[in-house]
């Protein structure tokens, strides 16, 4: 997991590293005095987390920075066994009681190289491999060739999720649900807190609809134009996902080969 590209105020090397107990205001935002916070800090210490790193595109009171903040949890960088990891932790006002379902879905997705690697999980947090590139919505590919490579890889991963029977549920708004590792040009689908098991997951069809929101996608793929054949193929795919239909969808989007 990572920041939105260009929004962090410092480089990672310059980011402030704060001992765990002193970082409660950031880790447990917005209620560091809660009983939940005491339990969370205790579990993080037991897991060998030693420091919080103030880095990311989300600034909160006190000048602290997070990688992300959602309705379920806060996401931040930390030091674990002398390694930098991304932590997604339930915040004190979360409506969820556990991270374990998300961790289970994330583990399956990571096994298939759809999500970043997951290191460990408890009821209150998960530790995953940090991805330092931008979110999909902030990605600015230098060429349509690069853009099409990323889109092919992303659509393939949505297809793999469909075959695994996991519905992500948030891919209609993919701008914040996908991170790009710029070093490898590899997209990773993150945030499985709304995911479910489903006989017809529909990740690929939902993603194709969501990608129309992004200008660089419309510019580099035939995704924003009226195409009855594409609509019919997507309907057929949703009823019965198959590799042959997936390949047809790539061809109809002009993503089946490099320009």
Residues 143 and 247 in one domain: yes
Residues in a beta bridge with 88: 75, 126
Residue-level pLDDT at 70 = 83
Residue-level pLDDT at 8 = 44
Residues 148 and 102 in one domain: no
8 in any annotated domain: no
**48-79 tens-digit pLDDT:** 999 999 999 999 999 999 999 887 889 999 99
Residues 174 and 115 in one domain: no
Residues 218 and 118 in one domain: no
Task: Please identify, among 82, 102, 128, the residue that sits at the C-terminal boundary of a domain.
Answer: 128
Q: Which domain holds residue 183?
A: 136-252
202 in any annotated domain: yes
Residues 119 and 163 in one domain: no
Q: Can you read off the two tokens belonging to residue 72?
A: 């379920």
The total number of structural domains that make up the chain: 2
233 in any annotated domain: yes
**Separation CA 94–CA 39 (nearest Å):** 14
Task: Please identify, among 128, 146, 171, the residue that sits at the C-terminal boundary of a domain.
Answer: 128
Residues 42 and 141 in one domain: no
Residues 148 and 227 in one domain: yes
Q: Give the residues of the chain that fall short of pLDDT 70.
A: 1-10, 257-259
Sequence length of the chain is 259
259 in any annotated domain: no
Residues 105 and 144 in one domain: no
226 in any annotated domain: yes
Query: Which three-class secondary structure string do you get for the chain?
Result: CCCCCCCCCCCCCCCEEEEHHHHHHHHCCCCCCCHHHHHHHHHHHHCCEEEEEECCCEEECCCEEECEECCCEEEEEEEECCEEEEEEEECCCCCCCCCHHHHHHHHHHHHCCCCCCEEEECCCEEEECCCCCCEHHHCCCCCHHHHHHHHHHHHHHHHHHHHHCEECCCCCCHHHCEEEECCCCEEEECCCCCCEECCCCCHHHHHHHHHCCCHHHHHHCCCCCCCHHHHHHHHHHHHCCCHHHHHHHHHHCCCCCCC
Residues 187 and 114 in one domain: no
Please compute, for residue 247, the number of CA atoms within 13 A of its CA located in the half-sphere on the CB side: 3
Q: For the domain that residue 187 is a member of, what is the CATH number?
A: 1.10.510.10
Is this model's pTM higher than 0.85 or not?
A: yes
Q: Can you read off the two tokens belonging to residue 41?
A: 């800090």
Residue-level pLDDT at 1 = 53
**ω before 30 within 30° of 0 (cis)?**
yes
197 in any annotated domain: yes
Virtual CA dihedral for 234, 235, 239, 241, nearest 10 degrees? -10
Residues 123 and 140 in one domain: no
11 in any annotated domain: no
Residues 230 and 156 in one domain: yes
């Amino acid at each position: 997991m990572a920041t939105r590209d260009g929004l962090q105020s410092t480089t990672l090397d310059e980011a402030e590293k704060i001992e765990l107990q002193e970082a409660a205001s950031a880790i447990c935002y917005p209620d560091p005095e809660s009983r939940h916070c005491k339990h969370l800090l205790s579990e993080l210490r037991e897991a060998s987390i030693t420091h919080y790193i103030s880095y990311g595109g989300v600034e909160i009171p006190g000048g602290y920075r997070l990688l992300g903040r959602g309705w379920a949890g806060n996401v931040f960088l930390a030091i674990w066994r002398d390694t930098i990891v991304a932590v997604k932790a339930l915040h004190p006002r979360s409506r969820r009681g556990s991270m374990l379902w998300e961790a289970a879905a994330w583990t399956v997705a990571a096994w298939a190289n759809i999500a970043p690697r997951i290191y460990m999980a408890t009821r209150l947090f998960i530790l995953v491999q940090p991805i330092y590139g931008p979110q999909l919505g902030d990605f600015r590919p230098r060429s349509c060739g690069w853009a099409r490579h990323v889109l092919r890889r992303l659509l393939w991963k949505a297809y793999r999720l469909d075959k695994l029977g996991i519905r992500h549920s948030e891919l209609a708004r993919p701008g914040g649900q996908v991170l790009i590792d710029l070093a490898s040009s590899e997209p990773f689908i993150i945030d499985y807190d709304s995911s479910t098991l489903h006989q017809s997951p529909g990740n690929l069809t939902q993603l194709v609809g969501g990608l129309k929101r992004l200008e660089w996608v419309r510019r580099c793929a035939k995704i924003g134009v009226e195409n009855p054949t594409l609509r019919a193929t997507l309907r057929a795919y949703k009823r019965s996902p198959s590799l042959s239909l997936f390949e047809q969808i790539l061809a109809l989007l002009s993503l089946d080969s490099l320009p």
